[in-house]
Structures are given as structure tokens and as C-alpha cells.
Amino acid sequence: MTTTGPSAYLRVAEQIRDRITAGEYLPGSQLPSLADLQEQYGFSHGVGQSAYRLLEQEGVVLAKQGRGYFVREQAPRRTLVRRPPAGGKPGPDNAFLVEQGVDTGLRSQSTTEAATADIAERLDVEAGTPLMHTSYVYLVDGEPGFLADSWEPMSVTGHHLIVLPEAGPHIGIGVAARMAVIGIEVGEPVELVTARALTRAEAQTLATFPGAPALVIHRTHYDQATGRPVETADLVLPGERWSTQYGRRPGA
């Protein structure tokens, strides 16, 4: 079949969608290459790319760089619990996932940078104040699960061994425990949950499609003695994969 004209990619996308719905292509399976589509339908690569791009935006297809196009698998939704354990202090963001038997890990990178106006306001410092910025990719069962960015004033941590959150003798213990090392009690953080679309860079890291809905948790830890903010962070969770839970049932 030769398909041409401005709506060609729409008709091709519809046929691919129908074949996925009919079970011809199973979740996780690789779809025909652009060359295969050209041979089958008789159009340019551009039409095939447009068809796949549409299906990617719809959440039907996943593009993997250098590998091609695949039918997206619908992963089960997980819950990120936003409370400390009974009688305990707040811990790492993946602590409850570990308790649930989930295989977790992370990749991180820390750099010093000047505070932007937005982050400066959240930390109650002047714009341009030196901060330690740590970017995280949290892994869930070996795959990128959610993202986080954390900022801490160098005036708080810069002269201590905790300055690098994921290096040194206090690696991986969470903000509350790290701050306790230098005599700061933070208690439970203040969190604001909002929603937005994933950026293209975030979607690529999380192996999903740009524009997908995301939960964003703006978190700030405060020094309980002075009231000053000592850490603020943004957690970004793909909405189709995650929910968040606050509070505790009686007796739990």
C-alpha cells in the first residue's frame, strides 16, 4: 500500500495502533524499523517518523535511542511513602521501597553552583549564594524510576564531611541523619506536591515520552532550633508509575 499526503502518517499510526491492540505486537516487543515501514507502505522515512512520534506522544510507543521503536509496557504503579517510620526519623527517599522488597539504587552527581532566585527564596538566602547541588536518578529494579535535585547552602555543610551527600563516611543515610551529624535536628520536611509535564530530557532519562504527566514534590528541611531552611529538593515522579502517600493509620 502506498500512502501519501498530509494525513499519511495518521493512517499509518492508526494501523500500527490497531496491530498493537490486536496483540500482533506485544508489550515490550520491537516494532518495524523505518526501512521496514517504507518497504511495507511505500513512503518516505519522514512519514514513518511522524507516525511513531504521534504514537510516542500518546504513550503507545517508546523510542530507544540507537535501538528503534518498541511497544510501551505498562509498569505497575508504585507508592512512594512520604513519612518517617514509626518512632523514627526521615530517611532516604527510597527507604520504604527497600522495606517492600524493591531492588533500589541510584546515580548521583554533585556540583557547587550559585543559587537561582527560586532556590534562594526556598532556602532563605541571597541569590548567588554558593550551594551544593546534587542530581539523582533513583533506580527501581535496575531501571530509572524517579528523579531528584537537592540543594544545600555551603554555609551549612561546606566545612563538614557531610558536604557531599553521596560520598564520604556518611553516604546514603538521608538528609535528616546527615544533618544530625553536625548537630542540626530537622524533623519532618515540609512538602508541596504539584503536577506538570515531563521535559524531553527527563522523559529520555526515565524511558518514557515527553509531555507525560509528572508528580513534583517540592521538599524543604528546616533546622528545628532556628527555623532556617538547610536543604530543599525537587522530586520528579512519572504520574503513570507513581502515587505518593502521607500520614499513618492508627497503630501502624
**What pLDDT is stored for residue 39 in this prediction?**
87
Q: What is the 3-state secondary structure (H, E, C) of 90-135?
A: CCCCCHHHHHCCCCEEEEEEEEEEECCHHHHHHHCCCCCCEEEEEE
Per-residue model confidence (pLDDT) at position 109: 97
**The whole model's pTM is what?**
0.75
pLDDT digits (tens, 9 = 90+) for 138-154: 999 999 999 999 999 99
- The Cα 69–Cα 37 span in angstroms is 12
- Let me know: does 71 contact 60? Beta carbons within 8 Å: yes
pLDDT value of position 122: 98
Which residue numbers in the chain have pLDDT < 50? Answer: 1-3
For position 88, what pLDDT does the model report? 59
In the chain, the domains with their CATH numbers are 8-71 (1.10.10.10), 78-245 (3.40.1410.10)
pLDDT at 187 (0 to 100): 85
Give the model confidence (pLDDT) of 174-201 as tens digits. Answer: 999 999 999 999 988 999 999 999 999 9
- Give residue 182's pLDDT: 97
Supply the pLDDT for residue 62: 85
> Across the strands, what pairs with 90?
none
Look over the chain and give the mean of its residue pLDDT values, rounded to a whole number: 89
- Residue 155's pLDDT is 97
The reported pLDDT for the residue numbered 6 is 58
**Structural contact between residues 41 and 49, judged by C-beta atoms closer than 8 angstroms:** no
Distance CA 19, CA 209 (A): 20
Q: What distance in Å separates the CA atoms of residue 89 and residue 96, rounded to the nearest whole number? A: 13
Per-residue confidence (pLDDT) for residue 243, from 0 to 100 = 92
